A and B are shown apart, each in its own frame.
Chain A
Amino acid sequence: MSDKEIPYRKVKKMLEEIVDTLGEKKEYLNRLDAEIGDGDHGRTVFETFEKALDKIKLEEKDSDVGTLLKEVGRTIAFSGGAATGPLFGTAFIEAGKAIEGKSEIKLGDWLRSVKAAEEGIKKRGRAQVGEKTMLDTIHWVSESLQKSVDEKESLEKALIRAEKAAQEGMESTRDIVSKRGRSSRLGERTKGHLDPGATSSYYIFSSIIKNCLD
């Protein structure tokens, strides 16, 4: 096996990890969604990432991680459907673009990549932080990474910290009144419920980090 295949194997393993986790949490995410939406979020995100895993091709094995993430993002964005396809897809496309061509992903690259994903979601979903969406998870992550960069932390420490931040971001949606998507029509009634998109985003992010720390 050549060194060049390493990025491909990494990204593929990362996707497998995400699909496994989302498979385990499918019913839970469906239930969360049923509280403030229509109850299919778990199934939708699971199928979306399963499709992306199916499609990631061996011919792309010579690509770097950034390019591969971009390709994964394109599959998710164009074939995912629902609101989640375009949003998660855009996140991966932008995250990939930000680190295209890099052979080694350092802490600064992580920050750039996550920030790009955050901006991409904002633009695609015409959303802002604090509206009870997946942005709330990802924003806590980018803030945490920024702090780690400022404090010159090691990559490992920064990723462990970012994972915790993702969880806190997800938890923060419990107190927010929804302002975006279908749940926004429930207004005050959304208070006290976790946002399903912020929750699946946490699982996805957590899987990515777990995969990188292995």
Chain B
Amino acid sequence: MLKKFINDPEKVVDEMLEGFLEAHGNRIKRLETSRAVVRREAPIKGKVGLVTGGGSGHKPAFIGYVGEGLMDGVAVGNIFASPSAQQIHDTVKAVDGGKGVLCVLGNYSGDIMNFDMASDMAKEEGIKVEQVIINDDVGSGSRDQMKNRRGVAGEVVVWKLIGAKAAEGANLEEVKKVAEKANANTRSMGVAHSPCAVPSMKYGGEETFHLGEDEMEIGVGHHGEPGVEKTKMKTADEVTQILAEKVLEDLPFKTADEVNVLISGLGSTALLELYIVYRKLAQILKKRKIKIYRSYIGEFFTSLEMGGFSITLTRLDDELKRLLDAPANSPLFVQA
């Protein structure tokens, strides 16, 4: 069992949300009809509405990114479980400012089924809805199985980019194109040395997977899904080398490419370690003459208390660079 400070395993999401709204209620609000969070000013007339959502347990994703230059609404599922079609539908409706709504979701069967049904419902009501499925995780399938790859921390990069695009006043088609371009140019891979636990008891929950004292899982998923290899612990430099190579070779990223780097802790890995990882990654990229245009190091998409991190690279063109630099302001992501 992993220990947690909770009150009731069945109420963790609702109680978290109460606290979140208490803290950030000046900028976001909860829908009356469904467990979902939208910007206070939603729907925004003349702007494409942006919706995402998924299971809880990934703070700051997903609700931390509801704000200016980012998402307009998020449907909040139970821990690691998709929100319902009803929740997603209500969110879509709440953020539709007349210019249509783009739904961006990770490649998970539950999320896909619920988003599909929600889109059908919204379309029947005359709302223009488009959908882009993110599958940036190199650790969850080979290149010829791209369709099976999961969506992980690359989702954050996509949200940032489409958030900026929609804020510029682009139409639904244009915002969707940016989402597709961002997804096509983004690759991630994670590693974990300790598991997470879905709350199921008064003081914690059972580990979702097991690793020996001296083991780690390369390519681990955001819910503890196994990756490409279970192996003996290695140093930060060695692990970073392995992840970077897999990510770089997959797209592939080439000399003179300009990239965004996102290193995300999975929940219980210290920022100190993440900077050690970044140090090595920067060295590797320099050696390959790949230019780091921007970098984000911290917790951007976690898996409860999992110990580990993920590396995400996005190849940038002029448009993506401009969008990346645009300001953003949400409860858990601020960029001046």
User: Is B171 an interface position by the 8 A CB rule?
Assistant: no
Check B198 against A80 for contact (C-beta < 8 Å): no
B110 touches A83 (CB 8 A): yes
A138 near B: Cβ within 8 Å? no
Contact of B80 among A40, A85, A186, A189 (CB under 8 A): A40
Inter-chain CA distance A81–B84, complex, in Å, is 3
B85 touches A85 (CB 8 A): yes
Q: A79-B86, A181-B109 are in contact. Are A40 and B223 (CB under 8 A)?
A: no
Q: Are B78 and A86 in contact (CB under 8 A)?
A: no
Bound form: Cα–Cα A77–B117 in Å: 9
B198 and A38 within 8 A (CB):
yes
**B225 lies within 8 A of A40 (CB):** no
Which residues from chain A contact B114 at a C-beta distance below 8 Å? 81, 85-86
The stretch that binds A, out of B37-45, B161-169, B200-208, is: B200-208
Asked if residues A79 and B200 are in contact (CB atoms below 8 Å), the reply is: no
0/1 string, B193-215, CB within 8 A of A gives 1: 00000101000011010000000
Q: A82 at the A/B interface (Cβ < 8 Å)?
A: yes
Query: Which residues of B from 87 to 144 have beta carbons under 8 Å from A?
Result: 87, 89, 108-110, 113-114, 116-117, 121, 140
Residues of chain A lying within 8 A (CB to CB) of residue B85: 77-79, 81, 85-86
Judged by a CB distance under 8 angstroms, whether A30 is at the interface is yes
Q: Does B184 contact A (CB under 8 A)?
A: no
Query: In the complex, what residues of B have CB within 8 A of residue A82's CB?
Result: 77-78, 81-82, 110
Residues of B contacting A40 with CB < 8 Å? 78-81, 198, 200
Which B residues are in CB contact (< 8 Å) with A58? none
- A30: nearest chain-B partner, CB-CB: B200
Instruction: List A30-49 residues whose CB lies under 8 Å from chain B.
Output: 30, 34, 38-40, 43-44
- Chain B residues lying within 8 Å of A80, measured Cβ to Cβ, are 84
Does A125 sit at the interface, judged by CB under 8 A?
yes
A81/B198 contact (C-beta < 8 A), A43-B10, A87-B113 known: no
A180 at the interface (CB under 8 A from B): yes
Return chain B residues, CB-CB under 8 Å to A30.
200
Chain B residue at minimum C-beta to C-beta distance from A83: B110
Tally of B interface residues using CB under 8 Å: 32
Interface of A is mostly: helix
| A72-93 Cβ-contact flags toward B at 8 Å (1 or 0) | 0000011111111111000000
Cβ of B327: which chain A residues have Cβ within 8 Å of it?
Answer: none
Q: Is A106 positioned at the interface, with any CB of B under 8 Å from its CB?
A: no
Most buried by B among A34, A80, A85, A189: A85
Q: How many angstroms from the CA of A189 to the CA of B113 in the assembled complex?
A: 26
Q: Is the CB of A124 within 8 A of B113?
A: yes
Q: Smallest CB-CB separation from A185: which chain B residue?
A: B225
- Report Cα–Cα, A87/B117, bound state, in Å: 11
Is A81 a contact partner of B80 (Cβ separation < 8 A)? no
Q: How far is the CA of A60 from the CA of B223 in the complex (A)?
A: 41
Q: Which among B81, B109, B116, B225 is the interface contact of A44 at CB below 8 angstroms?
A: B81
Known: A40-B78, A78-B117. A185 touches B226 (CB 8 A): yes
A10 within 8 A of B: no
**Which residues in A have their C-beta under 8 angstroms from that of B206?**
34, 39
| Residue from A34, A38, A84, A180 whose CB has the most chain B CB atoms within 10 Å | A38
- Expressed in whole angstroms, the Cα–Cα distance for A81 and B118 within the complex equals 11
A9 at the B interface (CB under 8 A): no
Residues of A within 8 A of B84 (CB): 78-81, 85
Contact of B205 among A39, A44, A85, A86 (CB under 8 A): A39
A182 at the interface (CB under 8 A from B): yes
Bound Cα distance A117, B140 (Å): 31
Of all chain A residues, which has the CB nearest B114? A86
The answer to whether A39 touches B221 (Cβ under 8 A) is no
Output the least CB separation between A131 and chain B (Å). Answer: 12
B154 at the interface (CB under 8 A from A): no
B83 at interface by CB-CB < 8 Å? yes
Q: Could you write out 10 A-B pairs with CB less than 8 Å apart?
A: A38-B79, A38-B223, A40-B79, A40-B80, A78-B85, A83-B113, A125-B109, A180-B109, A182-B109, A189-B226
Could you list 10 further interchain pairs (A-B, Cβ under 8 angstroms) beyond the known A182-B223, A185-B221? Answer: A34-B206, A40-B79, A44-B78, A78-B121, A82-B78, A86-B110, A125-B109, A181-B109, A185-B225, A186-B225
